[in-house]
Copies of this chain bind each other. A is one copy, B any other.
Amino acid sequence: MKKNADNPKMKDVLREQIFGRALLPLQKLPSERELSELFSTTRISVKDALGALETEGLIYREDRRGWFVSPPRIRYNPLSRCHFNQMINEQDRIAETQLINISTIMAPSDYAKVLELKELTEIHVIERLRYIDGRVVLFVENCLISHFFPGIIEENLTQSLTQLYQDKYQFTTSRSRFDVIPAAAPAHVAKALNISAGQQVLKICRVNYNQQGKIIDCEFEYWRPDAVMISIDSIEHS
């Protein structure tokens, strides 16, 4: 069968099926090869169409696993003191956290810059993965200035770090700065998020100050772009 005017564009058909609930959140789409047969087109055209729906936030990819329908976005206020689990639960979603790796290193220049370090300084890097409804959507690197946090490595680091700072170290966050950019996923982040290196992520870099106004840690968050809406209300901070 040749393509003709009776043959609606694949991305329009899929979009309608998603909006019409024929395809449900987290549901797997047919493979690219199947779609290219179904719609009598080539795989490159299928990839382009799927990529367009991905850009719209309607579907997401997983490297070597397939394409899936995106669930609704989470509303996220980076200035909020609300723990991840609580934030997700409040939106009737299921949260989970996985500790991936902890390392203790001399701060490389990009970290040193963010933390405004003037000399060689040891930091702990805590890598965690965040899941919503069983899907991995966020890779987080917390970079803690070690000398502020003796013995933290032995703690349960899947819990709220902010709470741990307060309970064990009597640090409260007096101020936060955050920057948001669309970025390309570095290889280690991509692998953790089940995408190929260089795919689009939404990167949030946050710097936290304790009650003495000193920077104590920074945090790099890499979000799946379809999973989150950053939402800020000026009234919550006045």
List A residues at the B interface (Cβ < 8 Å).
44, 52, 55-57, 73, 75, 78-79, 175-184, 198-200, 202, 225, 228-235, 237-238
Shortest CB distance A176–B (Å): 5
Bound form: Cα–Cα A232–B184 in Å:
21
Q: Which residues of B contact A200 (CB under 8 A)?
A: 55, 182, 200
Closest B residue to A202 by CB, please name it.
B182
Most B C-beta atoms less than 10 A away, residue of A57, A176, A234, A238: A234
Closest B residue to A208 by CB, please name it.
B234
Known: A55-B198, A175-B233, A232-B79. A73 touches B180 (CB 8 A): no
Q: Is the interface of A mostly helix, strand, loop or mixed?
A: strand
Judging by beta carbons under 8 Å apart, are B56 and A198 in contact? Answer: yes
Judging by beta carbons under 8 Å apart, are A176 and B234 in contact? Answer: yes
Closest B residue to A209 by CB, please name it.
B235
Closest B residue to A226 by CB, please name it.
B182
Most B C-beta atoms less than 10 A away, residue of A57, A175, A232, A237: A232
Q: Which residues of B contact A73 (CB under 8 A)?
A: 181
Shortest CB distance A170–B (Å): 20
Known: A182-B225, A202-B182. A175 touches B234 (CB 8 A): yes
Known: A78-B232, A234-B79, A238-B237. A52 touches B198 (CB 8 A): yes
Judging by beta carbons under 8 Å apart, are A180 and B181 in contact? Answer: no
